[in-house]
Structure 1
Amino acid sequence: MSDAEQAHPDLPVVLSQRDRAAVVDDILAERMETVVPAIMREQGIDMWILMAREYFEEPVVATMLDAESMSARRRTILVFYNPGEGKPVERLTVSRYGLGNLFAASWDPAKQPDQWKAVAEIIAARDPKRIAINTSDLTAFGDGMTLSQYKAMTAALPTGFEERIVPGETLSLRWLESRTPRELEIYPGIVRLAHAVIGEAFSRKVITPGKTTAEEVQWWYRDRLAGLGIDTWFHPSIGIQRQGVKGMIEGDEVIQPGDLLWTDFGITYMRLNTDTQHLAYVLKPGETEAPAGLRAGLKATNRVQDLLRQSFAVGLSGNVVLARARAKALAEGLDPSIYSHPIGFHGHGAGTAIGFWDNQKDDPRGTYAIRPNTTWSIELTSYNAVPEWGGQKVDFRSEEDAFFDGKEVHFLDGRQTELTLIPSE
């Protein structure tokens, strides 16, 4: 991890599918042995039951399948049982197909044709006091148990066990948001890969001022990732801010000298996601640097980043962190908008929100407490008048991925502190 970012980093080696699978399985085994026991004990849960159906993935189950089990098959049921007294957490799969070496196969359809009755027998034999299932009004990450599956499961339970069922919402969030040492070994390299592709996009290799359109750069991203065998979790964005033009120009607009370019770009690689927003300036003939007002605008955004990072603390809600950071920024005369979010297995990941672009006040989605060992997209902007553009207010958006260790927020692969320059000739 480093706070320093290279403007045009070399592209890291992209692993073969087989090598990627080995890394994914290694990380998953580590998570099963460390994260699952820790969060079940933390939340006081004796048994956690997860269910997914083919073509209707449960978001938590999708992250618990080994690299060769690419989706749920028919109905995949996972059961975690914490026997207490420091004993290992039992991992069972009540499914027609096995799941590598991570879960013990626990259903023989020849002996018990009813899958949910097989689950009920496991529950009755272990007699757990608190049984978590994934239901949540607030977050999709903790709402994987469908009504039909809940009815089928509870109908099979012995009398009295349904009253022991509790929501597994927090368990789901804790599983998804927690990062392990092995994940943190590879995450900076994944972000570096994304930064390297952005560096290519913001260069004469891709952009010819006066000819290339914003839309063409978007599709160049898609083709580049397809060639690398890497997925994007959203369609890349390219926007243009131009002197004398209000707002962001997109689509088939041709990029011109003097334009300030913005990109929003994210990849999915070895099950982890990136989310980055960078800025570039297209030099006019004879220019060797961007106008001072544009450079100052990025510096102001960097300052908002610093104030937000300083506002993180374990146990605070996203709403409190937002209020703290905004108060500091406004006191310094900055004009911020903060809309940061967790990142990890999902681009807009599990955990608390720290503001939204359309809501800079308290939000129900920002009530969850910040935890250590979590990763974040530090996403925000500051608005600044640019003297060289006649005082026009410009939007200096930025987004960089980071890790919160419980004390400090560290960028995974640095952050942009200088505008990328694209020659016009």
Structure 2
Amino acid sequence: MTDQAASYTDRSLVWKAPDTDLSIKEESMLSSIHPSPQRRVRWNQCTALAPSVTTVLAVSVALTAACAPADAPRAADAAFEFDLPNWSEQVTLREGWLERRHEMLLPMMRQYDIDMWITVNEEFHDDPLTEYIAPPRPYTGNRDIFVFIDTGEELRSVAITGYSEVNLKRFFESPDEPRPASQVLPELYAIYSPQRIALNMDGRKGMTRSLTYATYGYLSDIMGPEATSRFVSAADLIEEYLDTRIPEELEAYRNLVHLTEVIAKRALSDEVIEPGVTTIGDVRRW
């Protein structure tokens, strides 16, 4: 391997936590996903996980490259069998988690003094949060808007979409004949008079500042100057929501971490690497 590749491999070794099944408790490993050190370890008040099945695999491939020597026995790895879910199976699995995740949201909104949270998904320019607060399916309604409101008694979840989507009805108020946001948002504001309206803007990570300039202006125009004066950043709420995982996710995560370790061991063994010749790019392409 080149010096660059060797250095990369050496740095990768720190991600492996000895004598544990999961090697994901290091703060630095999660720093590329979630920015808040004080909330690093959460597991619905337990252990933090990466945000989705597919992201887990991608992040773990990059960060858990703690492999055994080239001649290490591979019997345990060979015995591990796990079928990576296809896209449809992943959607079904994640939709099964979504109701539980919505149950966490009201206490979090109150913790950060948020009365209304608005996420806007742009057609062909998806908000990265959409797949974690709504069914992870394509949305093509120009601007599809997801609103969470603390009514004082419960969480009200409203989807304002360009087209009716049957799966949304499991998690949001979503009429068969959608009404425009220019009608629905002012009505919600008039009913609840939220003092703090959180938008996905500002913050230190892209996940917390995905709202476009044009859509900020659109929300301001349709909701009016009083509501605009109550716009605040949803950054802390977003970090809390993404950093907190539910126990139902552990089995899928454990399988993917194990699968990733098997892949990493093979990628960094003599099956792939020829000392002095193989580059990082060669390993990535493998």
User: TM-score scaled by structure 1?
Assistant: 0.45
**Matched residue, 2:116:** 47
Q: The residue matched to 1:49 in structure 2 has which SS?
A: strand
Cα distance change on mapping 1:106 and 1:48 into 2, 3 Å: farther
Q: The residue matched to 1:186 in structure 2 has which SS?
A: helix
* % same residue: 25
Which of residues 125, 134, 143 is equivalent to 2:209?
Answer: 143
**Matched residue, 2:143:** 75
Cα distance change on mapping 1:123 and 1:2 into 2, 3 Å: farther
- Flag the structure with more relative contact order, 1 or 2, with Cα contacts below 8 A and sequence separation at least 6: 2
Say what the alpha-carbon RMSD is for the aligned residues. Answer: 2.7
For residues 27-55 of structure 1, the C-alpha deviation after alignment (integer angstroms, 9 at most, x for no partner) is: 22221122x12211211211111111012
Aligned runs of 1:50-129 on 2, under 5 Å?
50-67=119-136, 69-71=137-139, 73-84=141-152, 87-97=153-163, 98=165, 99-100=167-168, 101-105=170-174, 108-109=177-178, 112=179, 114-129=180-195
Counterpart amino acid of residue 146 in structure 2: L
Q: Is 1:205 matched with 2:271?
A: yes
Aligned runs of 1:281-360 on 2, under 5 Å?
none
How much does 1:2 deviate?
7.7
The 1-side partners of 2:201 and 2:279 are apart by 45
How much does 1:88 deviate?
2.8
**Matched residue, 1:19:** 89
Counterpart amino acid of residue 170 in structure 1: D
Preserved contact between residue 143 and residue 169 of structure 1 (Cα < 8 Å): yes
The 2-side partners of 1:165 and 1:184 are apart by 36
The 1-side partners of 2:175 and 2:198 are apart by 19
Which structure has the larger Rg? 1
Preserved contact between residue 120 and residue 153 of structure 1 (Cα < 8 Å): no
Preserved contact between residue 77 and residue 94 of structure 1 (Cα < 8 Å): yes
**Matched residue, 1:325:** none
Q: The residue matched to 1:120 in structure 2 has which SS?
A: helix
The 1-side partners of 2:278 and 2:229 are apart by 63
Cα distance change on mapping 1:208 and 1:175 into 2, 3 Å: same
Preserved contact between residue 78 and residue 93 of structure 1 (Cα < 8 Å): yes
Q: Is 1:171 matched with 2:237?
A: yes
Q: The residue matched to 2:194 in structure 1 has which SS?
A: coil
Preserved contact between residue 133 and residue 167 of structure 1 (Cα < 8 Å): yes
Counterpart amino acid of residue 157 in structure 2: R
The 2-side partners of 1:133 and 1:209 are apart by 51
The 1-side partners of 2:281 and 2:219 are apart by 49
For residues 284-341 of structure 1, the C-alpha deviation after alignment (integer angstroms, 9 at most, x for no partner) is: xxxxxxxxxxxxxxxxxxxxxxxxxxxxxxxxxxxxxxxxxxxxxxxxxxxxxxxxxx
Counterpart amino acid of residue 77 in structure 1: I
Cα distance change on mapping 1:126 and 1:4 into 2, 3 Å: closer
User: Larger helix proportion, structure 1 or 2?
Assistant: 2
Q: How many pairs does the alignment contain?
A: 213
Counterpart amino acid of residue 208 in structure 2: G
Which of residues 98, 102, 106 is equivalent to 1:32?
Answer: 102
Q: Is 1:194 matched with 2:256?
A: no
For residues 80-121 of structure 1, the C-alpha deviation after alignment (integer angstroms, 9 at most, x for no partner) is: 01112xx33111101123353111115845xx5x43332212
The 1-side partners of 2:191 and 2:174 are apart by 16
The 2-side partners of 1:118 and 1:210 are apart by 63
How much does 1:213 deviate?
5.6
**Matched residue, 1:131:** 197
Q: Which runs of 5+ in 2 are unaligned?
A: 1-16, 22-66, 69-73
**Matched residue, 2:55:** none
User: TM-score scaled by structure 2?
Assistant: 0.65
How much does 1:212 deviate?
5.6
Counterpart amino acid of residue 115 in structure 2: D
Q: The residue matched to 1:76 in structure 2 has which SS?
A: strand
Aligned runs of 1:215-254 on 2, under 5 Å?
215-220=281-286
Moved more, 2-11 or 161-170: 2-11
